[in-house]
Amino acid sequence: MTRVLHGYFRSSAAYRVRIALNLKGLDYEPVSVHLRKGEQRAEAFLALNPQGMVPALVDGEAVLTQSPAILEYLDEAYPETPRLLPGSPVDRARVRALAAAVACDIHPINNLRVLKYVQGPLGCSQDAMVAWYNHWIAEGFGALERMLADDPRTGRFCHGDAPGLADVCLVPQVVNSQRHALDLAPYPTIRRIAEACDALPAFQAAHPSRQPDAE
């Protein structure tokens, strides 16, 4: 079976899927869709994903889009590999909530198409754009830090002592925050977990700087 991941080295959503594939030991062929050059609007890619967004994962006959859906698909389709979600319904709900705090609340208003609109039609300066970007990460990280620090189920990673769905979503957002020099000192639990993830080969290999299309 040929597994192909259409993504962009700097896309947080594609980064999540790369981490998950690596954690599960699933081989894939990366195909670059250069977002800044508008390749996501090419007819060939729109035929694959009408939203014109990355990632898109082709797994055999299946074409999957939206990183949260892809991550859950990988966990269900390949249950014999390390699981991204815990066994208990309550614990699964917690992990999904942690992941959604990043993937649904922080990331969507800070992704490339939003930032281009903020700077383009709305006429904001680069400094204003960075202030917007860091404001929403800080808002989200403040809440996420409390969710992690105040829960005994937090271990070496977001949930226990093995990386899972929440860590897969958290690390790309931490890397994004570093691009715009957000001070992470107020979030010691987030920093500790990100450092634990960074020590693992699956996370290291997925880093944007290690992708074939990195600039």
Chain segment 85-139, per-residue pLDDT in tens:
999 999 999 999 999 999 999 998 888 888 888 888 988 898 888 888 899 999 9
Average pLDDT, 10 consecutive residues per value, the chain (215 residues):
91 97 97 95 96 97 97 97 97 98 92 85 88 91 97 98 98 92 95 98 98 93
Phi, psi at 65, each rounded to 5°: -130, 170
Query: What pLDDT is stored for residue 62 in this prediction?
Result: 95
With residue 7 as reference, give the H or E element that holds it. strand 3-7
**This prediction's pTM:** 0.94
Burial 71-95 (b: 16+ CB within 10 A, else e): bbbbbeebeeeebbbbeeeeebebb
Name every residue whose Cβ is closer than 8 Å to that of residue 29 and which is 6 or more positions away in sequence.
2, 3, 4, 5
Cα-Cα end-to-end distance for the chain: 30
Query: What pLDDT is stored for residue 1 in this prediction?
Result: 59
Residue 56's DSSP bridge partners are 6, 65
Strand 29-32 and strand 3-7: the pairing is parallel
Residue 88 backbone class (left: φ over 0; alpha: ψ -120 to 50; beta: rest): beta
Name every residue whose Cβ is closer than 8 Å to that of residue 212 and which is 6 or more positions away in sequence.
9, 30, 32
Name every residue whose Cβ is closer than 8 Å to that of residue 39 and which is 6 or more positions away in sequence.
32, 33, 45
Query: What pLDDT is stored for residue 99 in this prediction?
Result: 98
Cα–Cα–Cα angle for 186, 191, 192, rounded to 5 degrees: 125
